[in-house]
Amino acid sequence: MSKPSIVILTGAGISKESGLDTFRCAGGLWQQVSLEDVATPEGFQRNPALVHDFYNARRAQLRSPEIQPNEAHRALARLEQEFPGTVLLVTQNIDDLHERAGSQSLIHMHGELLKAECEACGAVLPWDGDLSEADVCPSCQGAGLLRPRVVWFGEMPLEMPRIFHALEQCDLFISVGTSGNVYPAAGFVDHVQRCGQGDTIELNLEPSEGASLFDQKRYGPATRIVPAFVE
Ligand code: BV8
């Protein structure tokens, strides 16, 4: 694996101007539904239909034509194209807007809305329609065992060793559009400060929970401040 000298973390704020809700801003997702009911394994065990409805609605919205990558997604894809092999984009988002903007060196640490996972055989499958308990796993034919390929609270995010290694090696850590409320992602800036040598910068609409830990901060809408930073 090439040594990414720039690690970028993104959160829901980078997709806000594309029309997707954030979680903790006014009117955000966690004000519409209780995260305990729809973003925990216990909630899924208790009421799988409610969880499927929550993710089915977000999947349908993501696939609607008005939801497109914005200038911030495109600026990060350009950065990767201009410096091949040196950028690793770690997103907390489960949308596919970074891919659609052209980013390829990409880790979805909280999973992907357009994938399903079989709790019986572990298969991870592309899934762009509704998911329900009636669906059968195409890999093992198990019924009622498919779940959204999404990391819920209390579950281990994906590819953590690879992410921590990149944080320790990078020359620059950029955090975009995240409130710094959810760990381990919220702890990445501290990890760079303690275990790495990179500079750290926060690009956000407003100061995050971890703002004081960043070497540099720029505030404003991502579609303005991210292209300005990349340029
Ligand atoms: C783990 C599902 C360990 C996907 C999400 C007590 C009990 C149990 C656990 C814990 C606990 N205390 C701490 C924890 C750990 C827990 C946690 O951090 N809880 C918090 C709430 C305290 N974390 C976990 O459970 C994680 N797993 O720790 O595992 C482990 C160890 C061993 C073995 C097994 C396990 C798992 C965390 C992932 C949970 N899944 N979502 C989905 O439905 O999407 S979290 C959810 O929050 C999303 O994934 C989201 O990405 C994430 C972070 O939110 P943000 O992206 O930051 O969004 P937010 O709305 O908060 O902020 C938006 C920001 O954008 C704002 O700052 C705003 O100003 C800005 N903005 C808005 N508009 C714009 C903008 N910026 C720029 N331009 C704009 N236009």
In which band, very low, low, confident or very high, does the pLDDT at 130 lie, cut at 50, 70 and 90? very high
Q: pLDDT digit string (tens) for 143-157?
A: 888 999 999 999 999
The encoded tokens of residue 194 equal 């303690």
Residues with CB under 6 A from ligand 1: 11-13, 16-17, 22-25, 28, 39, 92-94, 110, 150-157, 177-179, 181-184, 204-206, 208, 221-222
Weakest mean pLDDT among 137-146, 167-176, 214-223? 137-146
Domains of the chain: 1-20+69-110+156-231 (3.40.50.1220), 26-66+113-150 (3.30.1600.10)
Q: State residue 165's pLDDT score.
A: 97
110 as an active site residue: the answer is: yes
141 by DSSP, 3-state: which? coil
Mean pLDDT of 77-89: 96
**CA 92 remoteness from chain centre:** 2
CA of 23 to the centre of ligand 1 (A): 8
Angstrom distance (rounded) from CA 181 to CA 118: 29
Place of tokens 């980078």: 14
Q: What is the pLDDT of residue 4?
A: 63
Looking at the CA of residue 93, tell me the nearest atom of ligand 1: 51
Give, in degrees to the nearest 5, the angle at Cα 181 between 159 and 38.
75
CA R_g for the chain: 18
What confidence tier does 3 reach under pLDDT thresholds 50, 70, 90?
Answer: low
In the numeric block, the tokens 């992907």 are attached to 112
Assess whether the previous peptide bond of 184 is cis (omega < 30° from 0).
yes
Cα 82 to middle of ligand 1, angstroms:
30
Q: Residue 163 pLDDT more than 60?
A: yes
The pTM score is 0.96
Instruction: Work out the mean pLDDT of the chain and round it to a whole number.
Output: 95
Question: Each residue of 65-76: pLDDT tens digit?
Answer: 999 999 999 999
